[in-house]
Structure 1
């Protein structure tokens, strides 16, 4: 079965929902290129490009990189591809970014196909994140500094605040698919595939 030339998937889900893992698998099995703006930005910093030198102070200070830079990076990344077969992980984060991305994708003739939203109850998310921190510490590492209950709760609040406008935006455009994120990785993955039919 031949794959369509263009396919654009945008993954949404709170911290701890497992979207990174699911996005990796979906990318591999559906022959999609996973695009993480964070990875692209870090790559520019490591390589010391002109852009890398420009954004390094922002990243070091924990500031957000301006939307125009992010969109330019994505435009540059997509320009190298024969067809636009991508999955976005961690982008867009705001409605303004979503609107800019839509304009770019329309120009390329590759509009958004699917926006799966992984939904997991807050208490379970917090349990998962705290357990991840404990496991990392038990394995001899220090764990992630954000793997504490207090920080996990804060991250859920921030996610809701930032992402609700995105959920509303993609829902209004008919792209949003609610996916139950509770269960084994296999069960959740099967639901994601079903939502994209």
Structure 2
């Protein structure tokens, strides 16, 4: 697998963690809810730093919920909803440990096609239809996970040249375009 150097956070160390650690990428996507994308994807690095420098999925899964929630809430909080998102991250880590050997890459390794990939992603706690499609697009566009039919499984987020989601952010210019598309989508939804 050849992964491009991700540039999602504006923080070189956090981006490097996302680039080399599939678990960090998955947890960043988990956190990408009701906060700016950069903060969400910075979250795994912040968690790792607060845990002594490593993102240990088994340790997160086994941590006492109150202890892990407090780790999330230390200023600056990892997420604007530290309690519920700490719980969600732990739930995802438990799935990773119990079903995927503690490695998010096992979710996509060996998938036959994009539909299977999307089904596996959708089975992760907190991944609804839209988030699953975006993550499949992110994997295909920036993580070199391209099973047959991945673009179709990602829907409009998988379209070549789209600027709709984190899957399309590769630099400051693309970030501005993605933000504009999200703003327009929110305005259209509000007008309905």
Interval of TM-score (by shorter of Structure 1 and Structure 2): 0.3 to 0.5
Structure with more relative contact order (C-alpha pairs < 8 Å, separation 6 or more): 1
The structure carrying a bigger strand percent of its residues is 1
Q: Which has the higher helix share?
A: 2
TM-score normalised over the length of structure 1 = 0.32
